[in-house]
Amino acid sequence: MTNKLRIVLLIALLGLLLLPGPLLAASDPVFDEVKALVEAFYVDPVDVKQLNVHSSQELLAKLGDEYSLYMTAAEFEEFIGVLEGEYAGIGVYLPNQTLERGIEIIGVIEGSPAQKAGLKAGDVIVKINRKNIAGMDLDTVCGMLLGPAGSRVQLEVETGAVSRDIELTRQIINIPVVDSTMLEFNIAWIDIASFSEDSHQELLQAILSSRQAGADKWIIDLRGNPGGYINAAIEMAGYFIGSGAVTVLEERDYITRYHPNQPEILVNDPIILLIDENSASASEILAAALKDHRQAVLLGETTYGKGTVQELYPLSNGDWLKLTTARFYSPLGIAINGVGVDPDFWLEDSHMIKAAELLLSDPSDGSAGSYELLANGQRFVVDLARARNTEYWQAWGDITDELQYLPAYKGAGEDKYSLLTPAQVRERASLYYPGVGELGSINNFSDSREIVLYVSRASDSSWSSDRFQLRHALSGEEMEVAAVIAGNFIKIRPQGELIPGEYWLVFDDGQQQEYLVRIGIGQ
């Protein structure tokens, strides 16, 4: 590490470097300072004289770099507050994009003015202080929402087709930077909201407390994390990769590989890392490091692609210059800027946590059987009873769609895994019900009909409607059925309206044998 303080953010990246000394007086000394800094430190060589500019703002615009900005003292204070997880505002999470008519709220912070006013995810802010915000960028919208604690801001908010006016009082919002929760199967879910100056210490404490609670598997959640200090990302990576290279910085005149200090702990357990399109900057440094070192499997979406570093220089009038001074790459030298970090497996955001839980479930009792999967060189054992639960059904479908896996199944009480055949994998029912015996299929079924089955073994007193499951193959939604059983014949009638698609009717005969009938419902 150099003695420069380097930090990275999605919207405004911060670094701190003192000016080397006083500048000569000029008609506009601050503009002269900005010109000198750009010529000395911008990532690419710049001849300011050739640009024919007359103000700091005009000069920065000519660079064509959205991340190099002039920040007033007030804007700097707001920026620091957001970076450290504290700012005065209304307490909403916003995406890095605007809708045609406004900007959608994707979440609210507990105890914030927004929550107290009843704002929810999905609401759309269309006006701030009576000004239309359609088409504005996120920086501008955030600037309008932030302000001194105790000040008021007026919003026009749309909830569906209903519009309402709300006046909120800004207050100091404290955002937890690192938060941890214990899940089932000894899984610790650690959510990292940003990379503040001390966040690596917060992560260390989260890991230690989770280990004390019995954690031996980890979900590290970087979704929506816009970045922060590079230093924090480098030290955090050390907890998972040791002292290996975390990132490569390319500055104007030299290239530097950055390593963490000797980490206080090292996590060698299975790790799932969650990312999305709003994971940026320092998030991408951490994600790329764990991916290149093969210390985690990445689930989600390609990250934002913010692969440049900014430093912020104090100016003589109290304002600050935020200037791009470097580009960063993964430890293997893979580009990130404008590209992002790809996940190992693309999954829908709504299913990511469930998918991660399944991959880390590793059941001990094997009461309903389990699957062993190989993904990105790592081994996962999935609890099949959990995978068949309606809550996890679609997540398991996502996994089997995307993973490069070895579909090996071990039934309850068995010692060895058995491979599924390509046909079984292709038909997919065996991914939920391994060993099932197929009785056939019924096409163009309608709700008014009965399903009539013939089974070779005659019924006994244990057979009842409880022995049958009727599930939609895509969603896993279970439909109640009524059954009339007579000898070798079974008549089954669904107790509700079926939706288009394929259903699986599974019958358990009470002797550890399952039978399946595929039922097609027309469009």
Which tens digit of pLDDT belongs to each residue from 387-409?
889 989 999 988 887 655 566 77
**How much is the average pLDDT of 23-52?**
84
3-state SS, residue 50: helix
Pick one of 3.40.50.300, 2.30.42.10, 3.40.50.720, 3.30.70.20 as the CATH number of 86-174.
2.30.42.10
3-state SS, residue 138: helix
Angle at 4 between CA 54 and CA 197, to 5 degrees: 105
CA distances from 27 to 32, 39, 59, 314, 511 (A): 9, 19, 17, 19, 92
pTM for the predicted model, two decimal places = 0.74
- pLDDT above 70 covers a percentage of the chain that reads 87
pLDDT at residue 7 tops 50: no
Strand partners, 107: 93
Residues of the chain within CATH 2.60.40.1220 domain(s) are 437-521
Mean pLDDT comparison of 99-108, 207-216, 437-446, highest-scoring range: 207-216
pLDDT at residue 486 tops 60: yes
CB 508 within 8 A of CB 514: yes
**Residue 8: per-residue pLDDT:** 37
pLDDT in tens, 159-198: 988 999 999 999 987 777 898 999 988 999 999 988 988 8
Least confident of 105-114, 343-352, 402-411: 402-411
Task: Name the strand (E) or helix (H) holding 354.
Answer: helix 352-359
| Second-level CATH architecture of 437-521 | Sandwich (2.60)
Q: Nearest Cα to 35, choosing from 21, 55, 20? A: 55
CA dihedral angle for residue 389, residue 392, residue 394, residue 396, rounded to 10 degrees: -100
Residues of the chain within CATH 2.30.42.10 domain(s) are 86-174
pLDDT at residue 305 tops 70: yes
pLDDT band at residue 365 under the 50/70/90 scheme: low
State the angle between helix axes of 282-292 and 230-241 in degrees (0 to 180), rounded to the nearest 10: 20
pLDDT at residue 241 tops 60: yes
Instruction: Report the amino acid identity of residue 179.
Output: D
